[in-house]
Structure 1
Amino acid sequence: MQKQFPLDIVPLTDEEDKIVKKYYKGTTWLQELVWLVANDLDFEKTTNEPFTKRYAYIEYPTQASDITKIVPTNPSHRATFDDFRTLPNMTSPRFLKSHLPLSCLPPNLLDTAKVFYIARDIRDVAVSFHFAHKLFRYFDDDVTFKEFWDLFKNNLILHTPIFPHVQEAWSQRNHPNLMFLFYEEMQNDLPDVIDRVCTFLGREYSKEQKEKLASHLSFENMKKGPKLAQSSGQNEKTFFRKGKSGGWVEYFDDEMKKEAEEYIQRNLEKTDMRYPTTNK
């Protein structure tokens, strides 16, 4: 069922590379917002330089198998240009991406860096993970979502268990150097999130500049970006999918919906954290 090689070993096909990235992945949406706010709204650079160049995905090599990796010839296929091994050589300010929980990162992280954490309804996360695991060849195409969900809810998927991960960050949400966000907040009121990110990073921009930023971050404009994807093709197996929360209902049958509700209630009963509903 599971493949034994990472994305760098078997690059995406040309067809997959041309897929319209219909469904924002929260991490990347936030990455674009944070990078632009911190870099004087340099839209030209975001157009010409990919996320994988601007952000170091620090733990990526640890997710690869021990077999020899082949570096893709097409730079757009690379998962990252820098990681924990090259991090010391990067010039400041450094922008880092990680899916690790806070407890697996340097213990003084929040005392030395600004940290953004983004969470999302775990049902949407499960759907996104399902297609991402297929796209990155971790699973065969014939693995159904129902089969994947069974693994996900039993914490047998990469980056699980989800709830301890999120709750750990939630417990630190009042730290002055941590900004905890829900994906649904970005979807419900992006201008408000932009204002909060600007304040958190100590940056001031005019109303017109922030409106331009919001427009740049809109789904319709982001999907046109040459470093994200350009195509009118349609395919579920794509890194970014529909850009909205609540899409999970299309993939959960009645039994799975009940399982998910019980799963969420069981894991949230000892915390005051609740996932926001979406109004769009």
Structure 2
Amino acid sequence: MASKPYPLEIRDLEPHEAEKMKVFSGEKTGFVRIGPKGYIVQSRFLEVAADIYNMEIRPSDVFVNTYARSGTTWTQELVWLIANNLDYDTAKSIVLRQRFPFLEFSSIFHSEMIQYYLEQNKGDEKKQKEIKMMTSHIVDQLASAPSPRFIKTHLPLSLLSPNVLNAKVVYVARDPRDAIVSFYLLSKSMTFLGWTGDFKSFWDLFISDLLYWTPYFEHLKEAWEKRHHPNLLFMFFEDLKKDLPAMINRVSDFMGKKYSDEEVATLCEHLHIKNCKKNPAINIEIFKELGVTKPDLEFIRQGKTGGWRDYFDEEMIARTDKWMEENLRDTDLRFPSAE
């Protein structure tokens, strides 16, 4: 793909910020901020930033867009099945990451970590091929992919193509306290991140806008401001948990589909957390085999709301309450009750 201009500002972190981010030992060349909001991305993202921003958007494309650990995988499976006439056979036989590729995933892998994984799996041609495929940029692959294309991303709307809303975008927001607990537990197991700190350190980076894809609230607000656009469906993870059949019907309407109550009930059963946890098509067991994650990785966890209370001390609760209040002051965005 020919390189096109990249109009967004790219700037280095302040020295004290860069020092704090060294706790991610897997990112050998550091992080940068992009755009007027100063979103945090790893250095390798610059290899693909312009291609992502300038990628051709097809009207048939479907994006699932979230901040990390906001019910992304759950929503991907839901959206894919609704769009594909509840084709469970294909959903079970082709892994989700192939049906619904992660747009910027390759950029999270530093080149030194890629070489490390290749070395660790030397002599196993199948694993070598898997690592190379997983860590190569997918924009070129998407260019030749048949329609409709299903694309997952954690990038805020402003780092995607300005034409992204020519496609369908399903955006899911989650209470940041639950999202950050889930992101922390995942990061501990992802060896390519090299996270070496405790939860409080992780949370501190999050509310200081020094974690992947932060500032968190700017990410959400960009989508919230577009919630009335006919091609963007804004949902809350808490509503998915509270009334999945109703949310399935919302997504179906958005996708121009209609399913019976019986079909919706069957989809709800397929998406039940107990079934998701044992569904190999939506888990990433191959990552454990490659050493990309630790053996203890539980990719599909509990899908709970309100579980953050088990991780926050009183000081963290007070600071987070203040942080949320300040960031919600200028918007009518509110998270649904976790009850």
Deviation at 1:64, TM superposition (A): 2.3
**CA–CA separation in structure 2 for the residues paired with 1:135 and 1:79:** 17
Q: Deviations over 1:32-88 (max 9, x none)?
A: 000000011011111121111101211122222233725674588875887213110
- Structure 2, unmatched stretches of 5+, are 1-22, 29-68, 286-294
2:86 paired residue number:
41
Q: Deviations over 1:121-162 (max 9, x none)?
A: 001111111112212122345x21111111111111111110
* Superposition map of 1:81-120 within 5 A: 83-110=138-165, 112-120=166-174
Q: Does 1:4 align with 2:26?
A: yes
Structure of greater relative contact order (alpha carbons < 8 Å, 6+ residues apart): 1
Verify the 8 A CA contact 2:97 2:282 in the aligned structure 1.
Answer: no
**CA–CA separation in structure 2 for the residues paired with 1:120 and 1:80:** 28
Amino acid paired to 1:222: C
Per the normalisation by structure 2, the TM-score is: 0.70
The structure 1 segments of at least 4 consecutive aligned residues displaced by more than 3 Å after TM superposition are 70-82, 228-231
2:76 paired residue number:
31
Q: Does 1:274 align with 2:334?
A: yes
CA-based RMSD of the aligned residues comes to 2.5
Aligned equivalent of 1:262, options 322, 327, 339: 322
Q: Does 1:129 align with 2:129?
A: no
CA gap 1:223/1:76 in 2 versus in 1, 3 angstroms: farther
* Superposition map of 1:233-272 within 5 A: 237-272=297-332
Which structure: larger Rg? 2
Amino acid paired to 1:243: G
Q: Does 1:66 align with 2:139?
A: no
Deviates more, 1:76-85 or 1:265-274: 76-85
* Superposition map of 1:219-238 within 5 A: 219-229=273-283, 237-238=297-298
CA gap 1:82/1:230 in 2 versus in 1, 3 angstroms: closer
Per the normalisation by structure 1, the TM-score is: 0.84
**CA–CA separation in structure 2 for the residues paired with 1:237 and 1:96:** 24
Amino acid paired to 1:86: Q
Q: Deviations over 1:149-206 (max 9, x none)?
A: 1111111111111000000100000000000011001000000000001110011112
The DSSP-based 3-state class of the residue aligned with 1:116 is strand
The DSSP-based 3-state class of the residue aligned with 2:139 is coil
Report how many aligned residue pairs link the two structures.
257
More strand by share: 2
**CA–CA separation in structure 2 for the residues paired with 1:205 and 1:186:** 17
Verify the 8 A CA contact 2:70 2:237 in the aligned structure 1.
Answer: no
Verify the 8 A CA contact 2:178 2:306 in the aligned structure 1.
Answer: yes
**CA–CA separation in structure 1 for the residues paired with 2:110 and 2:279:** 31
Deviation at 1:109, TM superposition (A): 1.2
Q: Does 1:191 align with 2:236?
A: no
The DSSP-based 3-state class of the residue aligned with 2:213 is coil
Aligned equivalent of 2:206, options 148, 152, 156: 152
**CA–CA separation in structure 2 for the residues paired with 1:117 and 1:194:** 14
Verify the 8 A CA contact 2:276 2:300 in the aligned structure 1.
Answer: no
CA gap 1:80/1:92 in 2 versus in 1, 3 angstroms: farther
**CA–CA separation in structure 1 for the residues paired with 2:26 and 2:304:** 31
CA gap 1:209/1:174 in 2 versus in 1, 3 angstroms: same
Deviates more, 1:152-161 or 1:58-67: 58-67
